[in-house]
Structure 1
Amino acid sequence: SLFPRPPIIDTIDLPCEGAFRGEEEAIALLKNFTYDWRDVHNRIMPNHDRCHIYRSEFGFDKSLEPSKEEREFPLAYAVLAHNRFEQLLLMLSSVYETHNSFCIAVPSNSDQSFIHLVHGLADCFPNIRILQSGPISWGSYAIMRVTFDCMESLYLSGVDAPLRSNGEMVKIMKEWNGLSHVLVLPFQEGRLAANRNKTLPMRLFKTSLSGIISREATEVMIKHKKGRELIEFLRETRIADESFWASALGNPEVIKIPGGFNATQFLSFAKRYAKEEKRGKGVAAPKCVSPPCLSRGFVGRFQTWVRKKCKGSWSNGSCVYGVADLPFLASNAAFVAHKLYLEYQPAALLCLLKKLSHDRSIPNENFDARQYNFLPQIEFIRGAKYENLTRYDLIL
């Protein structure tokens, strides 16, 4: 076309700024917003030049070049997706840069039209690779296996929404200087299942499938004998994907990984602070002056598990964020938020993506990546003693 359509995100006029500020009128208006994605879907399906639609209408082609800092610090994303193709396009395009790498794992029990479209997407972009896996269900070992395979070939979920621009993520990870960042919690013995009487390959910890892992750490995990033993041991455990990262990184006496740390000792810090807090000796979080604001000790992914803290909908034990959650999400320091659905209050997802697009075009001059150095886990890995932690309020 001589007059290509502008990116979809740019054509949708929404009072997002008002919602980010918590204005009731804007939030009420956005709750009632609907968008008919059938028109977009119908243009994609019969089109022999889908690549053009992806590049122009979904914004994979960026009008502004990334910064020199970003080009010199490429990121790799492992994505697990099985439905909602249009939402996957929106999410991917929001973080897409030609110098980054993407691995999309697609379960075989996905709808065949979805599988076909995802493979077609990879045909358009040389830095997107598709990994076809067997059938996947929630909590199955296959999730851990396919994530590991994506690492090997080179974790966002298809319903995550990025909260940080590519440039902001690069600045944070440069501050960390090769350190990885994962959720660390005590392992629940009931998850051993059939492995209850087997010898553990190492001490296990509960974690999240989402993690921020350095290239150097990834290479060791893939190649190390004990890393592969851990992967195989987790096959017979429950929710295997919530046991790998922290277990691999948290046992330096078993696997020497760059940026690895003693997770047992780190958890002892958390226990110590919990006792102090119980005795009334806890510390209040400092007032946030310039968002994004650190509110939790793990920033890889933000997810809400407490119903009363969710202003949206509820699905499978966690929050589906809606428009009323935007003020909090907009100021959140996490890399991504999980989860948002395009079919539920779509303005919530669209506003976050519009903000991300704006932050890429006009970077926030007040964004301070140095605050991410004050995460207790990062300070601990760098050798800080309990008494010297900066943000005790984030350790639990």
Structure 2
Amino acid sequence: MSLLGCTKSGFMLCVGLSIILLAINNMNQLDNSLNVEEEIKECGFYPGELCKALFEGKPAALVVGNICQEALPPSREQGAVILQSNCSTLISDLHFITKPLSQEEVEYPLAYIMTIHKQLDMFIKLISAIYTPHNVYCIHIDQKSSKTYSQAVQRLTSCFQNVFIASQQETVVYAGFSRLRADINCMEDLVLSDIPWKHVVNLCGQDFPIKTNREIVQYLKGKWNGRNLTPGVIQPPHMKYRTQVSYKEFVHMGKSYVYPTKEEKASPPHNITLYFGTAYYALTRNFVEFVLTDQRAKDLLEWSKDTYSPDEHYWVTLNRIKDFPGSTPDAGWEGNIRAVKWRDQEGTSHSGCSGHYVRDICVYGLGDLRWLIESPHLFANKFDPSLYSLVTDCLERHYRLRVLQGAEVPVEQSWYFQDEYSSKTYR
């Protein structure tokens, strides 16, 4: 065969291969477009289906989660709205439930301590979710918070007789004594309340309830009736560094942290055995009143001022002393206070975090929704609507629907949420 013949043959072969590849590429694009269309439909671009698909954990919904989130209305900025609105408008627009939903809840009022410092939208979601007119709420605003943030929270709380700002506020440092002091400041205010609360529960600004108020009441007055719920164990060896040397708080120019010194600490007062556990609890009123006056509790508090994260040993330690009201000396980690996905528990207590980890705690993403609603815990941490707005929006609507389904009184229209993902009221 001549060189010209070979060249022509090669050219024809190239043309043939090009046509085949082009055809295959077009088929792939068609398949991909069909897959994308199917995924978007699964993700819920039609009324009433978006959150439902996500709660069901549909894989297609998770694959295009970011697309869905960007295509939906962003979380609204509430600060300016709150400062410019009157109370009746705020209560209605933010969907606060203004009447008790059952007699059982009225007969078992709760107290809440909420320590907050940022993310006003998340605070609004939290307070409007847990608010009932027969409970009482103490809000501790970090002194590092912006002026606008503090003003907005103060404006909102002024609309309710049973919600108030702590009379003494701290500059809270992560893992510092100031975090424990903030809770105690609220407790000193709450024991003066005329509302006969049974348990006090503490929350932070990135928490959200999983159980309804009635379910929380039933849980506390059932298994924990008259007892304190402080999950924890005797201080493990790997946690002793927290209390063996003195720690100090550093706050300057917007920066704050806790750092160790070379000064060794003496043993705890009164030969108290230290325990280690969660900083979050449900404490009886009798226990709180006792702790605020008992000399052993005062001495341990003073001793704890220069320890690392004292809120993780103070409450659980006092609750293991036999003669303290409602104490549980033999308790361990039991108690469903908060659902948390810890990084080091991935593969054991959970299958992973679909959001991202901050200080080894999962900030929940879309793929965590089903795990959350199936959790036996009362509350969950942590959420960030500035990053995962669809997570908090869907959970908020799911939670409110469950609350209103259990109501024993006529439900008012303003208690429902308007579904931003359709033109219908979410009910």
TM-score scaled by structure 2?
A: 0.70
Q: Does 1:36 align with 2:106?
A: no
| Residue identity opposite 2:305 in structure 1 | R
Report deviation, 1:41. Answer: 4.2
Match of 1:172 in 2: 219
* Aligned 8 A contact 1:44 1:53 in 2: no
Residue 343 (structure 1) aligns with: 386
Inter-CA distance 183–39: structure 2 relative to 1 (3 Å threshold): closer
Q: Distance in 2 between matches of 1:338 and 1:14?
A: 26
Q: Distance in 2 between matches of 1:230 and 1:81?
A: 26
Secondary structure, counterpart of 1:76 in structure 2: strand
Selected match of 1:304 from 336, 341, 349: 341
Q: Give the aligned residue type for 1:314.
A: Y
> Which residue of 214, 235, 243 maps to 2:305?
235
Matched, 1:84 2:119: yes
In structure 1, the residue matched to 2:268 is: 200
Contact 1:302 1:338 in 2 (8 A): yes
Query: Displacement, 1:108?
Result: 0.9
Q: How far does the alpha carbon of each residue in 1:190-237 deviate from its partner, in whole angstroms, 9 at most, with x for none?
A: 011227441312111112221011222222112211111111111010
Distance 1:37 1:311 in 2: 20
Structure-1 separation of matches of 2:165 and 2:153: 8
Counterpart of 2:360 in structure 1 is: 317
**Deviations 1:309-352 (Å, cap 9, x if unpaired)?**
22211112211011100111110011111101011221111222
Residue of structure 1 aligned with 2:280, choices 185, 210, 225: 210
What's the CA shift for 1:28? Answer: 4.2
CA distance in 2: counterparts of 1:319 and 1:348, whole angstroms: 13
Q: Report the equivalent of 1:115.
A: 150
Cα distance in 2 for partners of 1:231, 1:261 equals 20
Shift of residue 42, structure 1, vs aligned partner: 4.1
Q: Which residue of 1 aligns with 2:205?
A: 158
- The residue type equivalent to 1:186 in the other structure is I
CA distance in 2, matches of 1:352, 1:48: 26
3-state DSSP class of the match of 1:79?
Answer: strand
Paired-residue identity, %: 24
Which digits, 9 at most, give the CA deviation of each residue in 1:18-77, with x for residues without a partner? Answer: 2222112334455432543346444334x142x234301211144x64100001110100
Question: Which of 106, 117, 126 is matched with 1:71 structurally?
Answer: 106
| 1:213 partner SS | strand
Q: Secondary structure of the equivalent of 2:340?
A: coil
In the other structure, the counterpart of 2:326 is: 259
**C-alpha offsets along residues 267-292 of structure 1, whole Å, 9 cap, x if unaligned?**
6xxxxxxxxxxxxxxxxxxxxxxxxx
1:103 aligns with 2:138: yes
Closer, same or farther in 2 for the Cα pair 1:313/1:262, shift >3 Å? same
User: Conserved in 2, the CA contact under 8 Å of 1:82 and 1:110?
Assistant: yes
Asked whether the equivalents of residues 341 and 361 of structure 2 are also in contact (C-alpha less than 8 Å), the reply is yes
Alpha-carbon distance in 2 for matches of 1:222, 1:27: 49
Q: Report the CA distance between 1:259 and its aligned residue.
A: 2.2
Is the CA contact 1:33–1:347 (under 8 Å) kept in the aligned structure 2? yes
Output the TM-score relative to the length of structure 1. Answer: 0.75
How many residue pairs match? The answer is 318
- Distance in 2 (CA, whole Å) between partners of 1:353 and 1:85 is 15
What is the identity, as a one-letter code, of the residue corresponding to 2:240?
E
Aligned residue for 2:94? 58
**Structure-2 residue corresponding to 1:146:** 182
Specify the alignment match of 1:289 in structure 2. Answer: none
What is aligned with 2:417?
none
Displacement of 1:15: 2.2
Give the match's secondary structure for 2:164: strand
Higher strand share: 2
Shift of 1:157: 0.6
Which 5+ residue runs of structure 2 have no aligned equivalent? 1-46, 191-201, 247-262, 347-351, 408-427
Give 1:7's aligned residue: none
Which amino acid in 2 is paired with 1:321?
Answer: Y
Residue 374 (structure 1) aligns with: none
1:80/1:104 contact within 8 Å kept? yes
Distance 2:81 2:328 in 1: 50
Distance in 1 between the 2:48 and 2:203 partners?
27
Assess if the C-alpha contact under 8 Å between 1:14 and 1:30 holds in 2.
no
Which whole-Å deviations, capped at 9, do the CAs of 1:140-194 have from their partners, x for residues lacking one?
1000011011112101110101101001011111213212211203322101122
Select which of 164, 171, 176 maps to 1:135. Answer: 171
| SS state at 1:218 partner | helix
Query: Between Structure 1 and Structure 2, whose CA radius of gyration is higher?
Result: 2
The corresponding residue for 2:233 is: 185
- CA–CA distance in structure 2, aligned partners of residues 105 and 331 of structure 1: 30
Retained in 1: the 8 A contact 2:75–2:386?
no
Q: Could you tell me which runs of 5 or more consecutive residues in structure 1 were left unpaired when the two chains were aligned.
A: 1-11, 268-295, 365-396
One-letter amino acid of the structure 2 residue matched with residue 98 of structure 1? P
- Per the alignment, residue 374 of structure 2 pairs with 331
